[in-house]
């Protein structure tokens, strides 16, 4: 198949220099009948690119970079599969069955996205590959980053002819352990070369509650109603409409908060989140089996590498489907974030595009 020019060049620029393990990365591109593409890298099981045929051009709707040195220096988790535990664990500690576990910290005293050597930095093995499906697998040893148990995980990406990227996560662990995978894609539905920030996008989230956090992004322990706050996305509105109007937003320099999805939209079939591009040419719907979604508006993107130059603040937004941040320390919250021996972690998230 003929690939969009910038994707074809990725196969050269991303493999010219070695990844973390001293070997070059491998890239894979899926393409559907309408000409949509999704490109992945085995390092981090990373979603590198997503192009949509809009107005006879291939519109790139993911933020990313173009070379392996840029990948090695970036700190924004662009498109990566993150784990074992996405988002934050306060003080890098949790208790299971009366026993305390300490995991490695990488954000001050806290643990973010699995620790300093999380799954985003690992080489995943390719277990299956077709024109429309790629399956990556990973084995994480007992004690990896301090997490208990040997964990075996797979992430399956399928690009459907309905223009959806269907992501399915499966994992098993031989000891009780917090497990929470997500994909950390940054979206700009106007395209990654427009130079526009993401705040003119319109967004709706089917959530009546959100999680307030402190200045370090650690939950305060409260589940707060969105009513009367800038976190109320129950009716579609622009990201900028109520931007920085709440104290919680000011602490985070924007939106970087988890929304507890209404249970009616966590069956993997109902639309939990909807985003619309400012030019009304692209719509994104998110469906998931996870109980929450983290909305992040790229508040710290400035200076991160881009395919052309550097990212700017708020250039893209993330919709990270997940268990709630620090949920292992809040067993009273919805969703069971502890995977037990003999059980299977199995979750799905679909990013459905209309253009």
- Which DSSP string do the residues of 167-207 spell out, in sequence order? EEEEEEESS-EE-B-EE---B-TT-TTS---STTSEEEE-E
Segment 239-245 mean pLDDT:
98
Tell me, yes or no, whether 49 and 175 share the same domain: yes
Q: Summarize pLDDT for 106-123 with one digit per residue, the tens.
A: 999 999 999 999 999 999
Round to whole Å and give the CA distance between 37 and 23: 26
- The answer as to whether 274 is a domain residue is yes
200 is in an annotated binding site: no
- The answer as to whether 167 is a domain residue is yes
**Residue 195, pLDDT score:** 83
Mean pLDDT of the residues in the chain: 97
pLDDT higher at 25 or 2: 25
Round to whole Å and give the CA distance between 218 and 307: 32
- The answer as to whether 355 is a domain residue is no
Would you call 268 exposed, middle or buried from its count of C-beta atoms within 10 A (0-12, 13-18, 19+)?
middle
Q: Residue 354: pLDDT above 80?
A: yes
Tell me, yes or no, whether 164 and 262 share the same domain: no
Output the CA–CA distances (angstroms, integers) from residue 231 to 145, 203, 244, 327, in the order listed. Answer: 33, 11, 10, 20
Segment 78-87 mean pLDDT:
98
Tell me, yes or no, whether 145 and 228 share the same domain: no
Round to whole Å and give the CA distance between 200 and 343: 43
- 191 dihedral zone (left: phi>0; alpha: psi -120 to 50; beta): left
CA dihedral 152, 146, 122, 159 (to 10 degrees): 50
**Residue 263, pLDDT score:** 98
- The answer as to whether 189 is a domain residue is no
Would you call 161 exposed, middle or buried from its count of C-beta atoms within 10 A (0-12, 13-18, 19+)?
exposed
Looking from the CA of 210 toward its CB, the CA atoms found within 13 Å total 25
85 is in an annotated binding site: no
- The answer as to whether 349 is a domain residue is no
CA end-to-end distance (rounded Å), the chain: 21
Q: What is the dihedral sign for C-alpha 334, 338, 343, 347?
A: positive
Catalytic site positions: 184, 320
Let me know: does 32 contact 163? Beta carbons within 8 Å: yes
Let me know: does 327 contact 335? Beta carbons within 8 Å: yes
Tell me, yes or no, whether 214 and 177 share the same domain: no
pLDDT band at 2 (very low <50, low <70, confident <90, very high): confident
Tell me, yes or no, whether 234 and 325 share the same domain: yes
Q: Summarize pLDDT for 152-182 with one digit per residue, the tens.
A: 999 999 999 999 999 999 999 999 999 999 9
88 is in an annotated binding site: yes
Let me know: does 117 contact 225? Beta carbons within 8 Å: no
202 is in an annotated binding site: no
Return the H-helix or E-strand segment holding 94.
strand 93-96
Tell me, yes or no, whether 29 and 168 share the same domain: yes
Round to whole Å and give the CA distance between 263 and 272: 10
Tell me, yes or no, whether 162 and 216 share the same domain: no
184 is in an annotated binding site: yes
- The answer as to whether 246 is a domain residue is yes
Q: Residue 304: pLDDT above 80?
A: yes
- The answer as to whether 72 is a domain residue is yes
Segment 333-354 mean pLDDT:
97
351 is in an annotated binding site: no
Return the residue matching tokens 């956090």. 213
Segment 133-146 mean pLDDT:
98
Q: Residue 1: pLDDT above 70?
A: no
Of 255, 257, 219, 171, the closest CA to residue 333 belongs to 219
pLDDT band at 89 (very low <50, low <70, confident <90, very high): very high
The percentage of residues in the chain with a pLDDT greater than 70, rounded to a whole number, is 100
Tell me, yes or no, whether 166 and 222 share the same domain: no
Note down the domain range covering 11: 5-183
Return the H-helix or E-strand segment holding 104.
none
Output the CA–CA distances (angstroms, integers) from residue 125 to 47, 96, 135, 152, 300, in the order listed. Answer: 15, 30, 8, 12, 31
Tell me, yes or no, whether 112 and 10 share the same domain: yes
**Residue 194, pLDDT score:** 85
Q: Residue 3: pLDDT above 90?
A: no
CATH number at residue 25: 2.70.98.10
Which tokens hold the place of 100? Answer: 């305390």
**Residue 136, pLDDT score:** 99
pLDDT band at 193 (very low <50, low <70, confident <90, very high): confident
Model confidence, pTM: 0.97
- The total domain count for the chain is 2
Segment 220-231 mean pLDDT:
98
- The answer as to whether 154 is a domain residue is yes
**Residue 338, pLDDT score:** 98
Tell me, yes or no, whether 96 and 237 share the same domain: no
Tell me, yes or no, whether 42 and 130 share the same domain: yes
Q: Summarize pLDDT for 200-209 with one digit per residue, the tens.
A: 999 999 999 9
Q: Residue 297: pLDDT above 90?
A: yes
SS3 readout for 320-341: EEECCCCHHHCCCCCCCCEECC
Which tokens hold the place of 32? Answer: 């559907």
Tell me, yes or no, whether 171 and 256 share the same domain: no
């Amino acid at each position: 198949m003929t690939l969009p020019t910038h994707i074809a060049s990725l196969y050269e620029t991303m493999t010219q220099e070695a990844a973390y393990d001293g070997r070059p990365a491998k890239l894979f591109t899926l393409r559907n009948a309408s000409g949509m593409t999704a490109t992945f890298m085995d390092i981090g099981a990373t979603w590198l690119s997503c192009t949509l045929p809009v107005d006879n051009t291939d519109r790139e709707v993911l933020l990313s970079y173009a070379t392996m040195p840029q990948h090695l220096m970036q700190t924004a988790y662009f498109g990566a599969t993150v784990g074992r535990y996405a988002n934050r664990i306060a003080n890098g500690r949790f208790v299971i069955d009366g026993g305390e576990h300490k995991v490695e910290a990488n954000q001050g005293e806290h643990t973010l996205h699995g620790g300093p050597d999380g799954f985003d930095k690992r080489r995943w093995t390719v277990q299956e590959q077709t024109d429309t499906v790629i399956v990556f697998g990973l084995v994480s040893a007992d004690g990896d980053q301090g997490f208990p148990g040997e964990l075996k995980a797979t992430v399956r990406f399928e690009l459907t002819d309905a223009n959806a990227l269907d992501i399915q996560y499966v994992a098993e662990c031989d000891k009780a352990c917090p497990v929470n995978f997500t994909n950390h894609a940054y979206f700009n539905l106007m395209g990654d070369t427009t130079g526009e920030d993401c705040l003119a996008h319109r967004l709706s989230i089917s959530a009546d509650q959100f999680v307030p956090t402190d200045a370090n992004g650690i939950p305060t322990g409260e589940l707060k109603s969105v009513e009367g706050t800038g976190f109320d996305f129950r009716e579609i509105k622009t990201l900028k409409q109520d931007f920085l109007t709440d104290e919680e937003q000011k602490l985070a320099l924007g939106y970087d908060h988890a929304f507890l999805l209404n249970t009616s939209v966590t069956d993997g079939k109902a639309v939990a989140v909807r985003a619309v591009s400012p030019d009304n040419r692209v719509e994104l719907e998110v469906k998931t089996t996870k109980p929450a979604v983290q909305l992040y508006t790229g508040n710290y993107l400035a200076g991160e590498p881009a395919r052309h130059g550097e990212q700017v603040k708020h250039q893209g937004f993330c919709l990270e489907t997940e268990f709630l941040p620090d949920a292992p320390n809040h067993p009273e919250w919805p969703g069971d974030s502890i995977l037990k021996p003999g059980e299977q972690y199995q979750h799905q998230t679909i990013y459905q595009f209309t253009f």
